[in-house]
Structure 1
Amino acid sequence: MKKEKCESLEQARAQIDAIDTALIEMIATRQFYVDQAARFKRTVQDVQSPERVEQVIQKVRAQALDLGTDPDLVEHLYREMIQRFIQRELREFRP
């Protein structure tokens, strides 16, 4: 995503609003694919998959560092999002 220097508070806020919209769209898309993956899971362990969670966390922390953003913030956001998706999967889970 191209970054541009803003000339006003309004311009900065407009960019933030556009990013928020894109983030929500991406979260919805991620949820769609989590739901798709859930179709292939056979056990509660498959749903919770702590090893996979840690793989994702390590990957996003590394990406955050590469992009110069706070890896602790990214980890916190991802852990919360993943936990919510796991809860969603468990509510729908039927072995």
Structure 2
Amino acid sequence: MKTPIHDIPDMDTLRDRIDALDAALIALLGERRLLIDQAARIKRRIGLPARIDARVEEVVANARRHAADQGLDPELIDRIWRQLIEAAIAQEDAQLAQG
């Protein structure tokens, strides 16, 4: 079991926890990338474009809401998620161009 955050005794232990969390976040982003690959395959099959503006705004609104629920700055999360979404759209565009 993990040590509760307020019981972390030193910087080395704290940094280890941060590094482990960063690795977990990267793994989740890798899983998201695989889902984007599948989205591109589905979009190709049904004739949708990579960019669907209403969906972009829906995803950003969801991220902002989740951020606020976690005590994070929704404006910061908005900027991060828009970059993430733009990368995903580029990824889909590249796949759609192949097909």
When normalised by structure 1's length, the TM-score is 0.88
Give the Cα–Cα distance (whole angstroms) in 2 for the partners of residues 75 and 19 of structure 1: 21
Does residue 61 of structure 1 match 2:55?
Answer: no
Deviation at residue 9 of structure 1 after TM alignment: 0.9
Letter in 2 for 1:36: Q
Deviation at residue 77 of structure 1 after TM alignment: 1.2
1:39 is paired with a residue whose SS is: helix
Q: Unaligned stretches of 5+ in structure 2? A: none
- Give the aligned length: 92
Q: Which residue of 2 aligns with 1:25?
A: 27
Does residue 4 of structure 1 match 2:31?
Answer: no
**Greater CA drift, 68-77 or 26-35:** 68-77
Give the Cα–Cα distance (whole angstroms) in 2 for the partners of residues 21 and 11 of structure 1: 15
Give me the CA root mean square deviation: 1.5
Q: Which has the larger radius of gyration?
A: 2
Q: Unaligned stretches of 5+ in structure 1? A: none
When normalised by structure 2's length, the TM-score is 0.85
Q: Give the ranges of 4+ consecutive aligned residues of structure 1 lying more than 4 Å apart after TM superposition.
A: none
1:1-95 to 2 correspondence within 5 Å?
4-5=5-6, 6-41=8-43, 42-43=47-48, 46-94=49-97
